[in-house]
Structure 1
Amino acid sequence: MARIAQSSVDQVIATADMIEVVSQYTDLRRAGANYSGRCPFHDERTPSFSVNPVEKLYYCFGCGAGGNLIGFVMAKEGMDFPEAVEYLADRYGIALEYEESSARGDAERRRRERLRRLLEDATRYYERVLWESPAAAAARDYLAGRGLSEEVCRAFRVGYSLPGWERLRDGALAKGFTEQDLLDAGLVLPGKQGRPYDRFRGRIMFPLGDERGRTLGFGARAMGDEQPKYLNSPETSLYHKSEALFGLHDAKAAVHREDRVFVVEGYTDVLALAQAGVAAVVASMGTALTEQQLERLRRLTSTIYLCYDADAAGLGAMQRALTLGRRMGLALHVVRIPEGLDPADYVLSGAGGDGFRRLVDDAQTLLQFHVRLALATHDLDKPDGRARAFARLREVLSEAATPMERDDELRYVADRLQLSAESVRYLLSGGAGPPAAVGGGGRASGPADGPGVALGGAHELEVRFLAGCLSQPQAGRRALEGVDESFFAGAGTRAALRLVKERLAAGAAGDAPPAGGAEAGEGAEAFAEIIVRAGRERFTAVVVEELFLRLQEAQVGRLIARLKVTREDGDTGTQAEELARLEGLRRSLREALRAIPVEDDTRQSRGRVT
């Protein structure tokens, strides 16, 4: 890329108004020779941001952000140095000169500038037609009928393309543009006999611009039954549909000020919200929200509110956004518009901007939305419905941005299903199969179904119990009589159980412990932890007894949770009786735990696991 001449850079800096540029992002007030305001780079209540309008420098005494005019534009607009200079040159009408330019580079730059001029002329033409041509009366009536004022339509440069086949083309040719220019800009289509004709005819025109407000292409809406209802510019050297966001340039200042952006589906949603005083809004033009669109928004803010319909397309878009947002570090929320309405309908029906803001106050995070949707759209009274709900929840919760966010939603699911959080963790780990039969004494007769990945407290309890068994061999052998893998939720601790039993059996027989090589495999990592803890922590026979009771309580709790989840409709009473028996067994175990004497010198090492 050719380098901008230093003389042009100096001219841009000398011409641009620093206060005018910065005031797009924060309100400034004179403070002596300088201006001050709240910092546009971090949240603050007391102004600590200062601008020197003569030297064209800025500095924040709160966060330390500082630099010159071009650096400010680079930071706020996500531009590199040449882009920032070109942005300011375009804003202040400065023709840039370039050094070390090649003939090819100069030609490409001139070509792009020519297409931009053509698209700007087309935008002005469509605007003029909408407001001045008698043939556009139906379009003006349509917009007014939607509740959209002339003021807001003019602000977003809405226009109208006449129904004729050659109106735009002939006007552009008369101004010196060529048919190839029109084809390259996406404004005409090649005719069968080689004569191009206007691509947009009899449609309301919405210019699609870049961050600098320059038109790159158009979105066009039919007013009647004509198909397609929406028609966009084709891919060109300037316009790329996957990056397009309607209203971005107009929303920038408000997005910076509020540090959030609302994303809607359609053009009229943007116009209606802007008219209602909600300025930080853009349209993705449909629900196919792309990574490129999110990247453009991320340059301005990391907080994004999705205002899509809850139909199949909208839900699909929000699922994609959940995955993309997690990867890109975005905070995504969902604004629930009343069913049957889009944002434009809602604010224009009388709710206005205040009504929309109330919906925003009640917005859910995107993860919360998907969790609640999974619970609301499955029949939790039926086994297959519960199974599908948990399958969906596993998928959704895997997209949680942080463990804390995931735990919050686990607790919500537990409250909603009236289960313990530990039971929900177990069920979401894949242990939601049919309950195993339980024999006398709370001992399960068979291994638990499913992989049963250990989570959180279950793993801690199981490791400490097995470590206690090794530390207190006599109490350990007694506790492990009849204990099998079904008592353990984790695959690692289930495998380690066999190794612990082998070591205790060898010790009872006076043999040496099994060689280290025998302790490789699936349970090796858990077994290593058990060995370390057995040597490091102080266990007593009473501690082992307590841990064994807690192990039984946890196992019974899992059986109760699985039984509740898999309970059949029309049960004759067998399952209800089994549930009552398990509940009674759990009460007995808890009573036994309360009866265990507290040993003051071992309480810390026992570390009660609940």
Structure 2
Amino acid sequence: MSLTPAFLDELRARTLLSGLIAKTVKLQKAGREFRACCPFHQEKTPSFYVNDDKGFYHCFGCSAHGDAIRWMTEQRGLPFIDAVKELAQAAGMEMPEQDRRSAEKAERAKGLHEAMADAAQWFVDKLNGLEGAEARNLLKRRGITEEAARSFGLGFAPDSRGKLKEALKSYGDAMLVEAGMLIQVEEKEPYDRFRGRLMIPIRDVRGRTIAFGGRIIGDGEPKYLNSPETPLFDKGRTLYNLDRAQAAARKADRIIAVEGYMDVIALAQAGFGEAVAPLGTALTEHQLERLWRMAEVPLLCFDGDSAGQKAALRAAHRALPMLQPGRSLAFVTLPDGLDPDDLVRSKGAAAFEALLKAPQPLVDRLWQSEIAAEPLDTPEQRAGLKRRLSALAETIVDGNVKHEYLAEFRARTDAHFGRGPRAFEARTQRAPGGPARGKRDRRGNWQPPETMPGATMRGVHTHGIDPMLAKAVLAGLIRHPAEIARHMEVLGSLRSASGALGKLFEAVIDVALEDRQLDSGKVLTILARSGFDSVASDLLRADTLPFSFTRNQADEVRAREDLREAIEVMVALPAVDAALAQATAALAMDGPDEAFTRQVAFSRQRRELEERLANLKLADEEDFDD
């Protein structure tokens, strides 16, 4: 089938866009246009406009934009070809001729859809008849109302090898086998696949039944039996309740993925219509993409038992390569090994809503898992943790997100083991009772009180900052303005630094506070208004600054990581120098062993900082070319 631009243009021209959208959205006339509250995000004041003359809709709140076909694919969730077919039928247009093979495939699919629809209705009839008494009792015990059973199309398959086959005999055994409703083993007579089970229809995005899940009524295995894959059903690309959840997800501005059918149904009864479930498998890349089409950060709410949490972690690992700015996952952990069905029935919808309001970010779930994976008592074990975290971050394809995860994991590792830049505060007077005493950390290094875990940035020294390093950092921040916000707490402590550098630091931070969506050009323009144009321009022209982040065409990921490291060294150096001076001065007053140990410890920290700075400098002349 060939869909030419001319055909698609004609289709759009014949479709009254406001009439199409008004089927699901309440529109109000606004001059030559229509307006409404946007169906793609939550809002109270209408910012969604439909223009029939131009044939497009646009939301000034979330930037949703498109034509009639886009509306069908984005709002209705239809595949492109299905959207075109439905619009063409409504517009009275004939679809372009299919080739013979495509036509035969379409005709066969039409027959399969009809067979599945008839099977679903037959199961519903059996549930509501004499044979369905036990299945109805099961629903009652599970708290499933008659209304919910009707809404989800629940049915019952009698414990028989041939009743469904007989009821649908007009389709022929071959088609019923292809649809997954009959089982055929070699040359033997086909028989009913589902027997003695509560039947749960699985629907596509258009609400058509394409498969079934069958739950055993009494004892027996397997507890759940799903349809096999068929021309209609690809379980790795399908989510249960997707057809109903899409609209609810847009209204709630979230999508919830749970483990099973009953969880979805129970949540819908409790008012959470935005829930979907994979079909007996771990979440696939295709299913994750489906979730991201409905929400930037889907909520994964798997069972609280060990199996459920392992499934959540598998989903986390699978999602990593696909992360993008603003696109992630979050996790809702249920208490006491409960599943969502148990929770809403025992504790109510409010308890579940409270959990949804405080999900665990993806980075926290990954960190938590790796920290608990093995003991971290030896250097080798700690090195293993770093290697595992780095390997996870390296799977992320998007360079910016990968950089953020590497930096986040490094910062968390340093904080966890008491490393990284520390805050020192030189003291000119001793507190009553003698000299200030610190204590040994877990590796035996001496720490004064103000350097212990939990110390704040108040102890950071703003005097004694290396001027050349400060100039390089300022040049890096101007070239990479997004880093200003990420290091705001540290940089904010430098506002009180004296001299021109301190004033320029303050100006740069003020710029970031005014506008978080900055680029270098905008930073320079704003600094120029404050009288810093020549200083800032000189920094960017400084060929003597030997760092990746001061160069015009440096690798973005490397430059941002090097800039982070340089900021840490810049802040830590004067603090260590002050502490080293304090320890040296104390040699004459403290016990010689104690003072000497402190002096050695701070000298070693000073050398480590110098090494970190040396490693940042570009190695050869080629690196200095802009």
Identify the TM-score tier after normalising by the shorter chain: 0.5 to 0.7
Q: Distance in 1 between matches of 2:224 and 2:291?
A: 23
Q: Residues 365-514 of structure 1: matches in 2 within 5 Å?
A: 365-381=361-377, 386=382, 388-398=384-394, 401-404=401-404, 406-420=406-420
Are residues 1:101 and 2:98 paired? Answer: yes
Residues 366-387 of structure 1: CA deviation (Å, up to 9, x unaligned):
1211202322454445667645
Deviation at 1:346, TM superposition (A): 1.2
Deviation at 1:34, TM superposition (A): 5.6
- Going from structure 1 to structure 2, the CA distance change for 1:34 and 1:15 (only over 3 Å counts) comes to closer
Deviation at 1:209, TM superposition (A): 1.4
Residues 217-244 of structure 1: CA deviation (Å, up to 9, x unaligned):
1121223332222211112111112112
Give structure 1 stretches of 5+ with no counterpart: 424-433, 439-459, 468-529, 538-545, 558-577, 593-610
Residues 152-196 of structure 1: CA deviation (Å, up to 9, x unaligned):
2221112211111111110001xx211111011111011565321
Q: Residues 568-583 of structure 1: matches in 2 within 5 Å?
A: 583=598
The answer on whether the counterparts of 2:321 and 2:395 sit within 8 Å (CA) in structure 1 is no
- Going from structure 1 to structure 2, the CA distance change for 1:354 and 1:57 (only over 3 Å counts) comes to same
The answer on whether the counterparts of 1:367 and 1:396 sit within 8 Å (CA) in structure 2 is no
Deviation at 1:421, TM superposition (A): 5.9
The answer on whether the counterparts of 2:445 and 2:601 sit within 8 Å (CA) in structure 1 is no
The answer on whether the counterparts of 2:199 and 2:214 sit within 8 Å (CA) in structure 1 is yes
Are residues 1:141 and 2:143 paired? Answer: no
Aligned AA (1:403)? H
Q: Distance in 1 between matches of 2:350 and 2:145?
A: 19
The correspondence for 1:185, drawn from 179, 191, 197, is 179
Deviation at 1:408, TM superposition (A): 4.3
Residues 296-339 of structure 1: CA deviation (Å, up to 9, x unaligned):
22333332111123625425523433324427973111111113
Residue 84 of structure 2 is matched in structure 1 by: 85
- Going from structure 1 to structure 2, the CA distance change for 1:220 and 1:534 (only over 3 Å counts) comes to closer
**Range with greater deviation from structure 2 (386-395 or 134-143):** 386-395
Residues 91-144 of structure 1: CA deviation (Å, up to 9, x unaligned):
x7x9974333333332221111110011111111112212x1222212111122
Deviation at 1:71, TM superposition (A): 3.5
Residue 151 of structure 1 is matched in structure 2 by: 147
- Going from structure 1 to structure 2, the CA distance change for 1:324 and 1:88 (only over 3 Å counts) comes to farther
Aligned AA (2:600)? L
- Going from structure 1 to structure 2, the CA distance change for 1:47 and 1:413 (only over 3 Å counts) comes to farther
Aligned AA (2:98)? S
The answer on whether the counterparts of 1:272 and 1:344 sit within 8 Å (CA) in structure 2 is yes
The answer on whether the counterparts of 1:37 and 1:49 sit within 8 Å (CA) in structure 2 is yes
Residues 20-53 of structure 1: CA deviation (Å, up to 9, x unaligned):
4442xxx655657864223345675532112368
Are residues 1:345 and 2:342 paired? Answer: yes
The correspondence for 2:358, drawn from 339, 357, 362, is 362
Residue 18 of structure 1 is matched in structure 2 by: 20
Q: Distance in 2 between matches of 1:243 and 1:107?
A: 23
- Going from structure 1 to structure 2, the CA distance change for 1:101 and 1:387 (only over 3 Å counts) comes to closer
Q: Distance in 1 between matches of 2:402 and 2:163?
A: 56
The structure with the largest alpha-carbon Rg is 1
The correspondence for 1:585, drawn from 582, 595, 600, is 600
The correspondence for 1:291, drawn from 285, 291, 301, is 285
Deviation at 1:88, TM superposition (A): 5.1
Are residues 1:210 and 2:210 paired? Answer: no
Computed over aligned residues only, the root mean square deviation of the Cα atoms, in angstroms, reads 4.6
**Range with greater deviation from structure 2 (189-198 or 329-338):** 189-198
- Going from structure 1 to structure 2, the CA distance change for 1:104 and 1:315 (only over 3 Å counts) comes to closer
- Going from structure 1 to structure 2, the CA distance change for 1:109 and 1:170 (only over 3 Å counts) comes to same
Q: Distance in 2 between matches of 1:583 and 1:531?
A: 39
- Going from structure 1 to structure 2, the CA distance change for 1:267 and 1:422 (only over 3 Å counts) comes to farther
Q: Distance in 2 between matches of 1:187 and 1:274?
A: 28
Q: Residues 109-258 of structure 1: matches in 2 within 5 Å?
A: 109-130=106-127, 132-173=128-169, 176-191=170-185, 194-258=188-252
Residue 451 of structure 1 is matched in structure 2 by: none
Residue 318 of structure 2 is matched in structure 1 by: 321
The correspondence for 2:297, drawn from 293, 303, 328, is 303
- Going from structure 1 to structure 2, the CA distance change for 1:57 and 1:391 (only over 3 Å counts) comes to closer
- SS state at 1:419 partner: coil
Q: Distance in 2 between matches of 1:137 and 1:368?
A: 47
The correspondence for 1:267, drawn from 258, 261, 267, is 261
Q: Residues 517-528 of structure 1: matches in 2 within 5 Å?
A: none
Residue 588 of structure 2 is matched in structure 1 by: none
- SS state at 2:167 partner: helix
Aligned AA (1:107)? E
- Going from structure 1 to structure 2, the CA distance change for 1:113 and 1:95 (only over 3 Å counts) comes to farther
Q: Distance in 2 between matches of 1:274 and 1:157?
A: 14
- Going from structure 1 to structure 2, the CA distance change for 1:103 and 1:378 (only over 3 Å counts) comes to closer
Q: Distance in 2 between matches of 1:188 and 1:2?
A: 36
Aligned AA (1:39)? C
- Going from structure 1 to structure 2, the CA distance change for 1:327 and 1:222 (only over 3 Å counts) comes to farther
- Going from structure 1 to structure 2, the CA distance change for 1:355 and 1:371 (only over 3 Å counts) comes to same
The answer on whether the counterparts of 2:17 and 2:50 sit within 8 Å (CA) in structure 1 is no
Q: Distance in 2 between matches of 1:195 and 1:316?
A: 44
Residues 477-518 of structure 1: CA deviation (Å, up to 9, x unaligned):
xxxxxxxxxxxxxxxxxxxxxxxxxxxxxxxxxxxxxxxxxx
**Range with greater deviation from structure 2 (13-22 or 217-226):** 13-22
- The alignment covers a number of residue pairs equal to 458
Residue 517 of structure 2 is matched in structure 1 by: none
- SS state at 1:205 partner: strand
- Going from structure 1 to structure 2, the CA distance change for 1:214 and 1:435 (only over 3 Å counts) comes to same
Aligned AA (2:419)? L
Q: Distance in 2 between matches of 1:189 and 1:53?
A: 52
- SS state at 1:58 partner: strand
- SS state at 1:99 partner: coil
- SS state at 2:336 partner: coil
The answer on whether the counterparts of 1:39 and 1:60 sit within 8 Å (CA) in structure 2 is yes
Residue 331 of structure 2 is matched in structure 1 by: 334
